[in-house]
Chains A and B, each alone.
Chain A
Amino acid sequence: MSESTRSLSATRRRPDARLADGALGPLPEPGAAFKAATFGEALIGFARALETAGCVVEPPRVHDLARAVEHVSPMSRVDFYHASRATLISRKEDLDRFDAVFDLYWSTVKLPIEESDRPDGAPQAEPDVLGAPATGTPRVATAQAGVKEAQQDDAGIPGFSPDEALAQKDFLKIDESEMLEVRRLLQRLAERLATRLSRRRRPKPHGRYVDLRRTMRWTLQHGGEPAVLAYRARRVRKNELVLICDVSGSMDRYSRFLIEFVYGLQAIISGVETFVFSTRLTRITPQLRRRTVDEALVELSRTVADWSGGTNIGRCLQTFNDRFAPTVLTPRTVVLLLSDGWDKTEPAVLQREMRRIQQRSAAVIWLNPLQGNPAYESYCRALKEGLPFLHAFLPARNLESLAQLSRELVPLCQNL
């Protein structure tokens, strides 16, 4: 898949995905703006260059910038920089990228912009709205080609129905080329689940709340006597989710996918708290707020010394219960625990801690990427200790199993 396709299609669905797979896209050559025939074209070229570098720039925003330029006179380089930043960019993640592209693209271009450079004259057809008639100089060719290519590629994606083989492919075996597609599907899955769960308040004959507006209507029909009360159902409240992920050894990879999936559920989940553990438990919720999953985990692996050591689920759960459970667990919280259960914890400790979590939360779901592998099941002792306290025990090794998790979450969340 080409770079430009990445920036145009996939990033809309999952804004952060791109950052994770390789930072900055191709940058424009210095002074690329010079190649444009008019200032209007230079602006369009600039937006394209931003997209190529990986920013999300919606086409109508170029028009905003053109309007902005009209209002600021005379416009210094600094003002032009601020104005284009405010109009073209809409995410913090893109700001650094923007700076890099701006410096290169507009370098050697004479600013402030003179009157004669300004977009003027009657608008032509889209997307030439901004430009004066072209003088024959070719546009920024690479960017143009990039867009075309992107459109073709988009058309080539067979709908959104997950590829059967990809859905069943183990997360561990997914290579770089498939990563983007998997992330996109993951996002789709989360969105679908979110739509199914979120609902507006609706009239319901035996609901809990009095619907004043409809009561008034009925009252009117009965000459002003409020005889009948209309009710509405309680709004489906959002759920809270706590993720406790094993990141030792190969679990790391599975955890990343799970975390990404859960963060796609924000429409129905008011709060996600994320913890990772190997031998020690670390809360990474604040990091995830600022960074992508990959970045957060990379940073962690740098700071946490015992990253790829063995696990100690029991002790980590104890830390969780002692330090965090009182603030993050409510009777509405669903706890997702991802681990292969390959561990030397004493059974009694694990049982005790699992019970504590169960008592404080709505349900505990244990996700095990290795579930279903017969060679494995004989030695997952820790898991057996945990079983009595679980709402469900599910695999989490590929897209299909995350779909299964969604099916499990729907009734669970609706009944809370």
Chain B
Amino acid sequence: MTLDSIDAVQQALAAGAYVSDRALATSIFLAVKLEKPLFLEGESGVGKTEVAKVLAQTLGADLIRLQCYEGLDANSALYEWNYPKQLLAMRLEAADGHGREHAPVKQIFTREFLIERPLLKAIDNQGRPTVLLIDEVDRCDQEFEAFLLEVLSDFQITIPELGTIRATRRPVVVLTSNRTRELNDALKRRCLYHWIAYPTFEKELAILKTKVPGLPESLGRQICGFMEQARTKDFFKKPGIAESLDWASALLALGRRTLDESTVSDTLGVIFKYREDVERIHDASMRGLFDAARRAAQAGS
């Protein structure tokens, strides 16, 4: 499928069961057209990673994912030599009767012995459409960020033993960040920026309906009303869309139709992952959440 207009992007996302808004569709469209990385920021659980997945699906592209973590270095992201295989090759050669004076030097630094890690894989894509997802880039170290900047500017990688490898076709790059720290300006400058906010009530309801078939309308509305309120409260980790979806599935599996206090208590573990938050839900100040859920259900009927 080609993405040659903003409408096309929006339709493609919808076909991939991703409920988007025009702003996101515009950003994606421009990222593809301008061949610039798309930098997605937002709270966790708002569907940042999902964008890359649906995009790859839509474009019929390979999805290559680089999960960032503290301590991730160029070796694990780029390439590594297959040392056991190299050693074995040398041994075999020795056994074949070549004396030690003919040390095998060149042959073991060839493509055959190269292990491609995500970044190299994305660049050395043999012209196939590729979506490169660099996930949770805020978790990596600053040195790695600088290295990423280099790769994302040139889309080429130099391996001393092999030479320079260039992308014959630039991958579509999606970076995501939970914003645990501010990223280097230079890196952000390379990218198109899009902030994914928590969804509106209607959008979340649409997502629930798309993703959880068989969910009764009224229960969906209650969940969205509850979540909308919950996100205005000061929880340590506010529930995202991922939590809404899990919750909806859980409630459906349990055969619950309304969000009363006991139902919520029984399923709290699905939406809150910290003890502090689970405790807080019982505070008097949280009455508002149930009222909101009830109002939402009434508004729908």
List chain A positions with a Cβ less than 8 A from chain B: 12, 15, 56, 58, 60-61, 64, 67-68, 71-72, 78-79, 82-83, 85-87, 89-92, 95, 194, 198, 200-201, 212-213, 215-216, 219-221, 223-224, 226, 235, 237-238, 266-267, 270, 286, 289
A82-B34 in contact (CB<8A) = no
Chain A residues near B185 (CB-CB < 8 A): 12, 56, 58, 90
* CA distance in complex: A91, B83 (Å): 43
Chain A residues near B191 (CB-CB < 8 A): 90
B105 and chain A: residue at smallest CB distance:
A220
Chain A residues near B193 (CB-CB < 8 A): 85-86, 89-91
Given A64-B36, A86-B193, A289-B180, A213 contacting B27 (CB threshold 8 A):
no
Known: A71-B29, A224-B94. 17 other contacts (CB 8 A): A60-B189, A64-B36, A68-B30, A68-B33, A71-B33, A79-B6, A85-B193, A86-B30, A86-B192, A89-B193, A90-B39, A92-B41, A92-B195, A223-B94, A235-B73, A267-B141, A289-B179
Min CB distance, B174 to chain A, in Å? 13
Given A216-B81, A216-B86, A224 contacting B182 (CB threshold 8 A):
no
* CA distance in complex: A6, B46 (Å): 34
Could you give, for residues 12-47 of chain B, a 1 whenever the CB lies within 8 Å of some chain A CB and a 0 otherwise? 000000000011001101100110100101000000
> Is B70 at the interface (CB under 8 A from chain A)?
yes
Given A60-B189, A79-B22, A224 contacting B141 (CB threshold 8 A):
no
Top 4 nearest A-B pairs (CB, nearest first) are: A224-B90, A82-B26, A223-B100, A90-B188
A224 and chain B: residue at smallest CB distance:
B90
A72-B34 in contact (CB<8A) = no
* CA distance in complex: A12, B185 (Å): 8
* CA distance in complex: A89, B86 (Å): 48
> Is B250 at the interface (CB under 8 A from chain A)?
no
Given A87-B192, A90-B193, A270 contacting B70 (CB threshold 8 A):
yes
B71-A82 in contact (CB<8A) = no
Chain A residues near B188 (CB-CB < 8 A): 90-91
B7 and chain A: residue at smallest CB distance:
A79
Chain B residues near A15 (CB-CB < 8 A): 182
Of the candidates B22, B90, B91, B189, the one whose C-beta lies within 8 Å of that of A78 is B22
* CA distance in complex: A262, B83 (Å): 42
Could you give, for residues 205-224 of chain B, a 1 whenever the CB lies within 8 Å of some chain A CB and a 0 otherwise? 00000000000000000000
Chain B residues near A216 (CB-CB < 8 A): 81, 83, 86-87
B143-A224 in contact (CB<8A) = no
Chain A residues near B110 (CB-CB < 8 A): none
Given A95-B195, A266-B181, A68 contacting B143 (CB threshold 8 A):
no
Chain B residues near A200 (CB-CB < 8 A): 73, 143
Given A92-B195, A270-B70, A82 contacting B94 (CB threshold 8 A):
no
* CA distance in complex: A28, B225 (Å): 38
Min CB distance, A14 to chain B, in Å? 10
**A–B Cβ pairs within 8 angstroms, 17 of them:** A68-B34, A71-B30, A71-B33, A72-B5, A72-B30, A79-B26, A82-B22, A82-B26, A90-B189, A198-B143, A200-B73, A201-B73, A215-B83, A235-B73, A266-B181, A266-B182, A286-B236
* CA distance in complex: A78, B192 (Å): 17
Min CB distance, B105 to chain A, in Å? 6
Chain B residues near A215 (CB-CB < 8 A): 83
Min CB distance, A192 to chain B, in Å? 14
A69 and chain B: residue at smallest CB distance:
B30
Min CB distance, A83 to chain B, in Å? 6
* CA distance in complex: A286, B5 (Å): 39
Given A87-B192, A201-B73, A212-B83, A223 contacting B103 (CB threshold 8 A):
yes
> Is B199 at the interface (CB under 8 A from chain A)?
no
The B91-143 residues at the A interface (CB cut-off 8 A) are: 91, 93-94, 100-101, 103-105, 108, 141-143
Chain A residues near B257 (CB-CB < 8 A): none
> Is B194 at the interface (CB under 8 A from chain A)?
yes
* CA distance in complex: A116, B102 (Å): 71
Chain B residues near A72 (CB-CB < 8 A): 5-6, 26, 29-30
B138 and chain A: residue at smallest CB distance:
A266
* CA distance in complex: A223, B90 (Å): 8
Interface centre among A216, A235, A286 (most CB of B within 10 A): A216
B87-A83 in contact (CB<8A) = no
* CA distance in complex: A286, B188 (Å): 23
* CA distance in complex: A221, B101 (Å): 10
Chain A residues near B195 (CB-CB < 8 A): 92, 95
Min CB distance, B23 to chain A, in Å? 5
B39-A83 in contact (CB<8A) = no
Chain A residues near B179 (CB-CB < 8 A): 92, 289
A213-B70 in contact (CB<8A) = no
Chain B residues near A89 (CB-CB < 8 A): 193
Chain B residues near A220 (CB-CB < 8 A): 90, 103-105, 108
Interface centre among B90, B108, B234 (most CB of A within 10 A): B90
B145 and chain A: residue at smallest CB distance:
A267
B189-A61 in contact (CB<8A) = yes
Min CB distance, B265 to chain A, in Å? 22
A73 and chain B: residue at smallest CB distance:
B5
* CA distance in complex: A89, B22 (Å): 17
B143-A67 in contact (CB<8A) = no
